[in-house]
Amino acid sequence: MRIPVPVVLIASVSPDDGLRLETKLNGSGWDLQQVGNAHDAARRLNGNGNGAVLVIDSGLLEMAHDGQWRELQRRYPNLGTVVRCLLPLAKTGAEPAIRKSGRTNGSSTFRVHPDDAEGVGQAVRSLSVSGVGSK
């Protein structure tokens, strides 16, 4: 019996930044795939968001004129999400590695600092272990 490998879709404002993240996560055992837009992501999900995690720059989600990423999240409610965003400083003055936020569709979202590849890996692992993306 073959255990399915989690698909990790990487969507970055900068292709070079996305490639750097992919390089840092390489060897994780995940099926890492760069996506340029939500239509490309949907095609790679092949109609099924189960077992997949989207790692996305917050800038792509915040584009007022472009709701394609939010629509992708609505169409794939089991798609776990890791948002790479600048986090405010904690009261101790240290930036937290990851922060979990709920999502109304039953899936989970983690927020991680863009420079924290280890935090991205922790968030993806947590989403994979918690069963997000599985039926």
- 7-129 sits in which CATH class? alpha beta
Q: What is the CA radius of gyration of the chain?
A: 14
96 backbone φψ class: left, alpha, beta (φ>0; ψ -120 to 50): beta
Whether the model clears a pTM of 0.85, i.e. scores above it, the answer is no
pLDDT band at 103 (very low <50, low <70, confident <90, very high): low
Confidence (pLDDT) at 104: 44
Q: How far apart are CA 45 and CA 67, in angstroms?
A: 18
- Residue ranges per domain, the chain? 7-129
pLDDT by residue (tens digit) across 71-99? 898 888 888 999 998 876 445 555 555 66
Collapsed DSSP state (helix, strand, coil) of residue 111: strand
Each as own residue / partner, the long-range contacts of residues 25-30 (CB below 8 Å, 24 or more positions apart, any chain) are 25/117, 25/120, 25/121, 25/124, 28/121, 28/124, 29/5, 30/5, 30/6, 30/124
> Could you tell me if 68 and 39 are in contact, meaning their C-beta atoms sit under 8 angstroms apart?
yes
